[in-house]
């Protein structure tokens, strides 16, 4: 497994952004909840900035030559993603009061796609620990 470069990370992130937007947007059309696309866009923004922050922290952890620091970043990422997701969904629900629960499906699609991307790049990044 090759080490992860910044270029590869950002290319993967852009692919994830477009894939998530297209897939979640299409599912929103199928479920007739396009009026709730704001939640999809908010979730893409949240997960994108979280992924970028975690990537830069994991680069520091790889350079620190400390596997515990890297594992702490993985755990904090998971906690932030879950807590942030709850806050975003409950906040959106509170402010928009959607008439159907189907509004959550595009959000879940975005969440799963970013989770797959996070797992992939963190696995690649873990190969960088102690190599510098």
pLDDT in tens, 55-113: 988 888 777 767 788 888 889 999 999 999 999 999 999 999 988 888 898 999 999 99
Q: Is the pLDDT of residue 132 over 80?
A: no
Q: pTM, whole model, 2 decimals?
A: 0.86
Pure H helices in 31-103 = 37-64, 67-96
Left if phi > 0, otherwise alpha if psi is -120 to 50, otherwise beta: which for 130? Answer: left
- Domain residue limits, the chain: 6-126
What average pLDDT does the chain have? 87
**Distance, CA of 7 to CA of 16 (rounded, Å):** 14
Percent over 90 (pLDDT), the chain: 48
């Amino acid at each position: 497994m090759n080490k992860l470069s910044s270029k590869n990370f950002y290319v993967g992130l852009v692919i994830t952004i477009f894939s998530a937007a297209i897939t979640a947007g299409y599912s929103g059309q199928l479920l007739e909840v396009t009026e709730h696309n704001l939640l999809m866009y908010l979730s893409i923004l949240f997960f994108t900035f979280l992924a970028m922050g975690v990537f830069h922290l994991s680069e520091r952890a790889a350079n620190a030559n400390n596997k515990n620091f890297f594992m702490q970043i993985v755990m904090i990422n998971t906690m932030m993603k879950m807590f942030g997701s709850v806050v975003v969904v409950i906040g959106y629900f509170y402010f928009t009061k959607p008439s159907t629960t189907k509004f959550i499906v595009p959000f879940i699609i975005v969440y799963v796609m970013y989770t797959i991307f996070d797992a992939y790049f963190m696995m690649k990044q873990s190969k960088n620990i102690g190599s510098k």
